[in-house]
Structure 1
Amino acid sequence: MLNEKQILFEDNHIIIINKKAGQIVQGDKTGDISLLDEVKFYIKQKYLKPGNVFAGLVHRIDRPTSGIVIIAKTSKALTRLTEMLKKREIKKTYWAVVKKKEIPETQRLVHYLKKNEKNNKAIIYHDPNANTGSKEAILTYKMIKKSDHYLLLEIDLETGRHHQIRAQLSAIKCPIKGDLKYGADRSNGDGSIHLLARKIEFIHPIKKEKIRLVAPVPENDNLWKSFER
């Protein structure tokens, strides 16, 4: 059941959710109840909607990741937001907790990624000619805090590839805490990874007002809490 505390913004056109780590955004072969299903049920119950409820997913974040997800409540909003996403008019900023090592304070990373469908993992290449099916992946990170064992990176995406942040940070030997798939030493007890879709900024597709939202860090996680302070 969707917890109303997870709702960061809602109007007649859009609902923006702070997804919990472990929630699946859209239904898949697991058959688990998705965030999209929960949003539809919430709308149906709250507004006493008869019949089927429209809810359109604008973008996804990985199941073990937490943070901001935009869902359109009308087809008009969905069409416009999807187009804005293609034009990079929706600015998404992530936080990642990674293994501590000596890296530049800020860096722009450029790699070439290809999705391996068999193991649901991004294969990373440094040379654009290494694989004809690979796609350019670009992000910029800046280090914003340090602890004894970890770094907190703030990440701005220029592209939106499958597992992009996870793969690119792994490529510079800074795997995200808990992300066994991309080189972390151990998993987190709850199956999460320390990757948070932290901030989002865009112009409302209907009202033309600026929306800027910040997701709180996951509750009951002392490492996240220490970095947020």
Structure 2
Amino acid sequence: MKHTRTDPDIPVIFEDEHLLVIDKPANVLSQADHTGDPDVLTLCREYLAQQRSGSSTVYVGLVHRLDRPVSGLMLLAKTRQSAQALARQIRDRTIQKTYWAVTEGDPPPNGVLTHHLLKDRNRNVVKVTSPRQRKAKEATLSFATLAREKGLHLLSIHLQTGRPHQIRVQLAHEGYPVWGDYKYGSGQPDGRQIALRSLELALSHPATGQQLQFEQAAPEEEPWVYFASFQS
């Protein structure tokens, strides 16, 4: 598999002159923030500049974001025209993203969750609030429980909206927080990686219209290994 050869190194799942699909490592930012920590946008720009002998004219467009602790498939545009075409697909909800989460609690076999979410930007925390709250935004997702092992549950999740921290906040509010998510779950930070992953991505190629579909397995580590037989 191709890699960006940056620090941290990022697996490249697909690349052509229009698109870049990567497997974002956990705890890497999608784009730069006040921390100055490594971010996908900067690292992928470095990667493309390496291919073009250090050219400063490299374009990389961020099509969507993943929360910092979340890993998995992430789509970037290599031209402004592709970025605009993909933004339309995002707006029209024709790009399909499937997330897997391992949760605690006792989720039902399936469900649709709708809440109103409010983000505290100073604390980088999102909470469920009243729909009457002026700045609250509606958030909806659907899920199916795929398997149950060792008191944990494997969920397949589809977003109807794309709000910050949406999956983590909504699942925790319903009583089945994501494993390892100390911000919205229970317990204190203990070094675990959050068990939430962007697993599948389907879209129309912005230039050719060809249907593209990508799938990247969960890592062979706790708690994903509890569901290894289901994944195979």
TM-score (norm 2): 0.90
1:43 corresponding residue in structure 2: 48
Q: Secondary structure at the match of 1:179?
A: coil
Aligned equivalents of 1:144, 1:11: Cα separation in 2 = 34
> Are residues 1:99 and 2:115 paired?
no
Aligned equivalents of 1:117, 1:59: Cα separation in 2 = 19
1:39-78 aligned at under 5 Å gives the runs 39-48=44-53, 50-78=55-83
1:123 corresponding residue in structure 2: 127
Q: Is the 8 A contact 1:98 1:174 kept in 2?
A: yes
- Paired amino acid for 1:77: S
Q: Is the 8 A contact 1:95 1:152 kept in 2?
A: yes
What are the Cα deviations for residues 90-126 of structure 1, in whole angstroms up to 9, with x where unaligned?
Answer: 111100111042x32000111111111121111103x
Q: CA RMSD in A?
A: 1.7
Q: Secondary structure at the match of 1:161?
A: coil
Q: Secondary structure at the match of 1:124?
A: strand
- Paired amino acid for 1:211: L
- Paired amino acid for 1:123: K
Q: Secondary structure at the match of 1:225?
A: helix
> Are residues 1:193 and 2:194 paired?
yes
> Are residues 1:208 and 2:212 paired?
no
Return the offset for 1:189: 1.5
Aligned equivalents of 2:121, 2:213: Cα separation in 1 = 34
2:226 corresponding residue in structure 1: 226
Aligned equivalents of 2:208, 2:8: Cα separation in 1 = 26
What are the Cα deviations for residues 169-198 of structure 1, in whole angstroms up to 9, with x where unaligned?
Answer: 0111111111111123343525x3111011
- Paired amino acid for 1:55: V
1:112 corresponding residue in structure 2: 116
TM-score (norm 1): 0.92
> Are residues 1:19 and 2:21 paired?
no
Aligned equivalents of 2:25, 2:176: Cα separation in 1 = 23
Q: How many residue pairs align between the two structures?
A: 224
What are the Cα deviations for residues 144-174 of structure 1, in whole angstroms up to 9, with x where unaligned?
Answer: 0111121010001111111110110011111
- Paired amino acid for 1:64: P
Return the offset for 1:38: 1.3
Q: Is the 8 A contact 1:15 1:71 kept in 2?
A: yes
> Are residues 1:155 and 2:160 paired?
no
Q: Secondary structure at the match of 1:182?
A: coil
Q: Secondary structure at the match of 1:181?
A: coil
Q: Secondary structure at the match of 2:87?
A: helix
Structure 1 unaligned segments of length 5 or more: list them. none
Structure 2 unaligned segments of length 5 or more: list them. 1-5
Aligned equivalents of 2:19, 2:58: Cα separation in 1 = 13
Identify if the C-alpha distance between structure 1 residues 39 and 67 changes in structure 2 by more than 3 Å, giving closer, same or farther: same
> Are residues 1:83 and 2:85 paired?
no
